[in-house]
Chain A
């Protein structure tokens, strides 16, 4: 992924953050342009820490962050970043006694939309976008997990933000809701910068023109999903039996074993790698270091 740092909407250089003895982020460099960027990585890779720093919630120990040319270390510029931000934390808490509309109204106020009429317009807009119109008067405690996740996405879209940071937005969504979510992201007006953290490689393949793989607090890959899949070309095999010499083996839905590695078992056939294959290979390589 070749991006000019000077023109990137968001750039990060040498970003580090520790929690006690744990190094959550280790000299992370990355840039984001307008459009959707997927952030892939296992639990504990540092995704949530990176996203919360970009969302100006957490403070880094070291490194430089620039969001639309604004420096979050400067209090005034940090507020300006927040004015242009939509953020869905990984574990968003809700005021459970609020109705869906009241919660969105509350978040709209936090986003400085104090005019009552404008707030109602914004709340109506995001309810329509996320398909929650019929739930406007439902109390949050009565919503299912998937509905709450949609509500979380809805609040992030209030105010048409220029930077949308979504931490595991598809967690808890059923397949149909995930499809709808992908469609929603693709149709967002104004070409915002969207950073989407997920475990789901197929979400990345479906909606993200760019993908970053974060492992053990470091960026291990940055490029297009096709380039990530290409990293596994010639190293993914299908066979009828398990191969103990493969880096990774698992049984697929067709009851055949899929192997990632350099030593194909006898009778194995080479298959076209997916984004997930590329991700698993990069993860394995990083773990082997």
Chain B
């Protein structure tokens, strides 16, 4: 391999091989990248040089590097969502943290979609009058009572997704997370915001196919967000499970009360939306002020 600098050093065919001192430098990782590529190209087809090189390679370093490569191979970065988020600059370690969030797993999302399908299907069938007589088309003026199950369930599903993202009972390795230095509040935010976004997508999508006011999909956002934020804020003063349950019970009570008083769609009116916005802002403020409850809390 006469093209390489310093060629020679092994018998009559020396000019065809890489020089020993170059191989030593290569083994130590101190040669320029361009030279290293040439050496590697030669090594691929030259057993004699590979044999010489092997005597200069640090076996421990080689084993270490092999292990690292195996670990990298064992941590594949597959999935369109992962690639998309990486493209938007989301650090890979945050994606790993998300992988431990139960409400972002396929099985959870499938369950959410199924529950929504049942609730939305019931509302669509009853609301459009498909079960009582000839179809009346896709007119969005329909019996508001048909929407009660959906209005009851949709924000609860969002709350459940958020609760599963922050409740210790859903994290089997919770004690490790507590004993680790990683910011618990950051972990909480990363998981809950992701769970919130992922849960809102099917809820809003389902609202589009329902009878009722045209802006029902958008109107569901504020109650869902407010309910989740309320649960998180309550978790700064209560046991986290009690906080999530309390928020859920409050919603069920409010939704059933509205249904019983024949105004289930009150939630889409501006006054109710403003009320939800107030709850959301107050809860967010409380969460920020009391975030240390998550950072410093020891398990009692």
Contact = CB atoms under 8 A, between A and B. Distances in A.
Interface of A: 52, 55-59, 75, 78-80, 82-83, 85, 87, 89, 92-103, 105-107, 109-112, 114, 116, 119-121, 123-125, 127-128, 133, 136-137, 155
Contacts of B298: 56-59
B99 A102 contact: yes
Which of B68, B99, B172, B179 has the most C-beta atoms of chain A within 10 angstroms of its own C-beta? Answer: B179
Given A95-B172, A101-B75, A136-B74, A110 B296 contact: no
Nearest to A85: B179
B-side interface mostly = helix
B71 A136 contact: yes
Given A95-B173, A155-B176, A123 B105 contact: no
Nearest to B296: A75
A282 B300 CA distance: 31
B96 interface: yes
B176 A110 contact: yes
Interface residues of B, number: 36
Contacts of A116: 92-93
16 contacts: A56-B178, A56-B298, A57-B178, A57-B179, A82-B180, A93-B171, A93-B172, A101-B75, A105-B71, A106-B173, A109-B182, A110-B176, A112-B181, A123-B71, A124-B67, A128-B63
B64 A124 contact: yes
A95 B176 CA distance: 12
A124 B71 contact: yes
A227 to B, nearest CB: 32
Contacts of A123: 71
A97 to B, nearest CB: 7
Interface in B132-176: 171-176
A98 B296 CA distance: 28
Contact of B96 (A75, A92, A97, A105): A105
B12 to A, nearest CB: 43
Contacts of B177: 110
A93 B179 contact: no
B100 A95 contact: yes
A27 B181 CA distance: 28
Contacts of A105: 71, 75, 96
Contact of A94 (B71, B92, B96, B172): B172
B122 interface: no
Contacts of A100: 74
A78 B178 CA distance: 11
A56 B178 CA distance: 8
Contact of A83 (B70, B99, B181): B181
Given A75-B296, A94-B172, A114 B93 contact: yes
A94 B73 CA distance: 21
> Which 3 residue pairs of A and B lie closest in terms of their CB atoms, listed nearest first?
A93-B172, A124-B67, A110-B180
Contact of B299 (A57, A87, A96, A114): A57
Interface of B: 63-64, 67-68, 70-75, 91-93, 96-97, 99-100, 105, 171-182, 292, 295-296, 298-300
Contact of A128 (B67, B93, B176, B181): B67
B179 A121 contact: no
A146 to B, nearest CB: 19
B296 A78 contact: yes
A101 B92 contact: no
A88 to B, nearest CB: 9
B173 A82 contact: no
B182 A111 contact: yes
B178 A120 contact: no
Nearest to B107: A97
Contacts of B178: 56-57
A109 B173 contact: no
A103 B100 CA distance: 9
Contact of B71 (A82, A97, A101, A110): A101
Contacts of B176: 87, 89, 92, 107, 110, 155
Nearest to A72: B298
Given A89-B179, A95-B173, A128-B67, 9 more contacts: A56-B179, A58-B300, A101-B71, A106-B96, A107-B173, A110-B180, A124-B70, A127-B67, A137-B74
A79 B181 contact: yes
Contacts of A97: 105
B73 to A, nearest CB: 8
A120 B71 contact: yes
A211 B288 CA distance: 46
Contacts of B182: 109-112
Nearest to B92: A116
Contacts of A114: 91, 93
Contact of A59 (B72, B295, B299): B299
Contacts of B99: 95, 98, 102, 106
Nearest to A78: B296
B299 A120 contact: no
A93 B91 CA distance: 26
Contacts of A85: 179
A233 B176 CA distance: 42
A15 B157 CA distance: 44
Contacts of B100: 95, 98, 106
Contacts of B74: 99-102, 136-137
A185 B73 CA distance: 28
